[in-house]
Structure 1
């Protein structure tokens, strides 16, 4: 699974478009939708079969997400983290232990693949059949790879009004996760400059 799966998991908490925040994983059906949408990113670790995605799996995925978002908050420090859960993040030491425990759920061994036509290649293969453990371990390992790799240095929390996403900077001055957030931030700054009272905060519109 690609390290970027960790960013996709963290982004399941997002702005709802109306001034609030929504959690894409707040129900089993929401988790099913997310897994379906992220099949390419999950790279073969998506659970298959009726009834496999259940409340137990949802709770475990959310637990991994809590650890990921806590460590994302640490990674962007001293800049403020994404606001929705910043006031109730688990301690960083606990988050590290949670990820490492989850990543160790499924043994991974190297496997040689050598087709009749073409060169050989080595792959890492999980050796456990529990579909819950396969997904949880894969998500945790993606987070370990992400946080232990160079992309951690470019991780930022979007500063646009109402946005709650983390993103990886594509250039050094990038402040927002997408152009629409940049437009909203510039509009807010323009409003602030032209409606600020001499002695205090901006005047109401």
Structure 2
């Protein structure tokens, strides 16, 4: 199942599998590669999209706002450890997110084919595909944070993981099975270390040795 844009954006900060953190949007080249791999996000900004430093920074700003508000959602549980020490204040995050969403003037449009149910779309008055992209990401974040999925948002607590995820069932504790396996191994190790492993004495008479 494809994740919605806001979750894909939040997940551009991820663990490297070795205790470190990677940022897919750290460079213009990285941002361009990330977008090219996500045609669903690019569909919100048809046209000749130019990925430059200005666009990269605008997308990163939306991500900063999203992850700060995600931390608020999961509270009082701990937020993702990747950026817990440098989160935006909530008021600033909301201001930034709303400003990004407002950059594209849009109007709802009704589409109703002869055969099939009616659907809605958005008519944009913005000509710059970069602005449309940033605004679309921000609008999806606003929709998520004000909708029912917000209640199911969690920060994965598996060792080394820094992802946020939406629970798909009531007992889900981790973002993916590999994180669950890693968490169970870590718990087993901690229990064994706390209780101590029993020592096995050799049978028979003790060795005299030399």
| TM-score (ref. length: structure 2) | 0.86
Distance (whole Å) between structure 1 residues aligned to residue 63 and residue 55 of structure 2: 12
Q: Deviations over 1:87-139 (max 9, x none)?
A: 11010011011111110111111223355665654322222111121011100
* 2:188 counterpart residue number: 190
* 2:48 counterpart residue number: 49
Do the aligned partners of 2:35 and 2:42 also contact (CA within 8 Å) in 1? no
* 2:134 counterpart residue number: 136
Deviation at 1:197, TM superposition (A): 6.6
Please list every run of 5 or more consecutive structure 1 residues that lacks an aligned counterpart in the other structure.
199-205
* 2:145 counterpart residue number: 147
Q: Deviations over 1:151-193 (max 9, x none)?
A: 1100000010000000011122211000000000000000001
Residue 21 in 1 paired to residue 21 in 2? yes
> Cα gap change, 1:18/1:108 in structure 2, threshold over 3 Å: closer, same or farther?
same
Cα RMSD (Å) = 2.0
Distance (whole Å) between structure 2 residues aligned to residue 47 and residue 70 of structure 1: 29
Aligned match of 2:63 in 54, 62, 65? 65
> Cα gap change, 1:150/1:79 in structure 2, threshold over 3 Å: closer, same or farther?
same
- Which stretches of structure 1, 4 residues or longer, exceed 6 Å deviation after superposition? none
Distance (whole Å) between structure 2 residues aligned to residue 82 and residue 111 of structure 1: 38
Aligned match of 2:88 in 76, 87, 90? 90
Secondary structure (helix, strand or coil) at the match of 1:128 reads coil
Do the aligned partners of 2:45 and 2:130 also contact (CA within 8 Å) in 1? no
Secondary structure (helix, strand or coil) at the match of 1:151 reads helix
Distance (whole Å) between structure 2 residues aligned to residue 119 and residue 146 of structure 1: 24
User: What number of residue pairs does the alignment pair up?
Assistant: 195
Whose Rg is larger? 2
> Cα gap change, 1:45/1:161 in structure 2, threshold over 3 Å: closer, same or farther?
same
Do the aligned partners of 1:3 and 1:142 also contact (CA within 8 Å) in 2? no
* 2:200 counterpart residue number: none
| TM-score (ref. length: structure 1) | 0.88
Do the aligned partners of 2:48 and 2:129 also contact (CA within 8 Å) in 1? no
Distance (whole Å) between structure 2 residues aligned to residue 119 and residue 181 of structure 1: 41
Please list every run of 5 or more consecutive structure 2 residues that lacks an aligned counterpart in the other structure.
197-210
